[in-house]
Structure 1
């Protein structure tokens, strides 16, 4: 009998705001961010094997060994649970790599969820999220069913919030590779200050102004990101903002026809241009 294959989607995300609020003694940065999942996604298929981890990638040239977060997620799962089987994972990659859209983190979360289902293990939710956090700060968000959440701490403190409804989301990646590690290392925390309105909105769980504290750092080395943001705003995006550590810039458009015109404009300039919508459930 043929093995059952489990298919999962791994959605991209955008940061509607991202504020850096401090740094722990161990060097990890503390943040306050509103994260929103998108319909734009990677696709993964999982098949049980007798033993071992096999990873096959299609769509983009990405590593298929321990350098890949999917492989590391599977290895961590088997190490922690002692589950007595293996897995073949086929990853169809659509989300650009190192783009500020959380593609690798989403793929890792999908892998943990799939292996839990394939194994039949009942793992407490807190343990699942702790395992996810060991793979990266964004992975716990993607382990949650909620399409949108406020993330605090190093990303492990999650509060579901109402998702975006309605706007078209334009994503444009300018083709530069940004190191998240470099961005955080370059961040001058002494220049970060939370104004009163932000503190009130953060404390009340309400939406904060569209701002990304990492954006000036990335733009200082990659001016094309700032130029792209200004151009997108000029085409009607309200707002246009860099997502995560970049280099993807997203724009929200209330008018879908206006979004399509902007999409066609950027599609003729940048290979990685996508028009999508927020996940709402």
Structure 2
């Protein structure tokens, strides 16, 4: 079985309070985008995990795909598998690539072996692996809150809009990003703001991480400004960085603008 774990963007990201468990409560809109990895899962005699493409630091045995496999194998009987991951979505880029790989592993194993794991159970497994893993189980636009693992339906649709993702290949760890954050409840409700025309989002739909990371990494601010200068209706940093995105009404030629960075572009669904 071959699946293609896709990335997501954050449209607005408010860090509202520090939790007693050390995490933070957030408010954001998660929206799926087409930048994807490739994940092949095949029955085997013994379990193995291999990856290619972008180098994934750390012990392969601790990769989220492997953790997803062992978690399900502890509760269900099925054959060992070989997991092969072709990594394309940048790491530490605010796109949820690793979380997506883990969630798609859960879904793929469920389908491959007919485990009949309910949607709620899949969401529960995904939440054990990471705060935004659960989003990729249903993989549709949602308003998320608390740790980013509880969801509410949202009517926002950007289908047919053109998106450009620009990654300057900076790895910003979650710990580094949160180090500069002062949690604060926003004055306006993000859900209400996103009902307004996209042209009105620029000064009110904010990513709280930009305030501390832009002075530290000026290239991030430069990319955002370039996206607006090229006609983006809305531009922002995704997650805790370092990817910036711009949303355009139609396909836009940005050739030559971001040659020194990693770029993905395509239509939103």
Length-normalised TM-score, structure 2: 0.90
Residue number in structure 2 paired with 1:268 = 259
Rounded to whole Å, the distance in 2 between the matches of 1:36 and 1:160 is: 12
Aligned 8 A contact 1:186 1:217 in 2:
yes
Rounded to whole Å, the distance in 1 between the matches of 2:148 and 2:243 is: 20
Point out the structure with the larger helix share. 1
Residue number in structure 2 paired with 1:184 = 178
Aligned 8 A contact 2:50 2:60 in 1:
no
Residue number in structure 2 paired with 1:88 = 82
Rounded to whole Å, the distance in 1 between the matches of 2:36 and 2:157 is: 17
Partner deviation per Cα, 1:179-208 (whole Å, 9 max, x = no partner): 11221233122xx2411xx23x53798477
Length-normalised TM-score, structure 1: 0.86
Rounded to whole Å, the distance in 2 between the matches of 1:50 and 1:202 is: 49
Residue number in structure 1 paired with 2:230 = 235
Q: What's the RMSD between the two structures over aligned residues?
A: 2.0
**1:82, CA displacement in angstroms?**
4.0
Structure 2 counterpart of 1:163, from 157, 166, 172: 157
Any idea what SS the aligned residue of 1:134 has? helix
Rounded to whole Å, the distance in 2 between the matches of 1:233 and 1:205 is: 19
Residue number in structure 2 paired with 1:202 = 191
Unaligned runs of 5+ in 2: none
**1:58, CA displacement in angstroms?**
2.1
Unaligned runs of 5+ in 1: 1-5
**1:175, CA displacement in angstroms?**
2.0
Rounded to whole Å, the distance in 2 between the matches of 1:213 and 1:188 is: 9
Partner deviation per Cα, 1:13-50 (whole Å, 9 max, x = no partner): 11111111212211111111111101221111110123
**1:255, CA displacement in angstroms?**
2.9
Residue number in structure 2 paired with 1:28 = 23
Aligned residues: 261
Aligned pairs (5 A) from 1:1-281:
6-52=1-47, 54-63=48-57, 65-79=60-74, 81-145=75-139, 147-161=140-154, 162-189=156-183, 192-195=184-187, 198-199=188-189, 201-202=190-191, 206=195, 209-256=204-251, 259-260=252-253, 262=254, 264-270=255-261, 272-278=262-268, 280=269
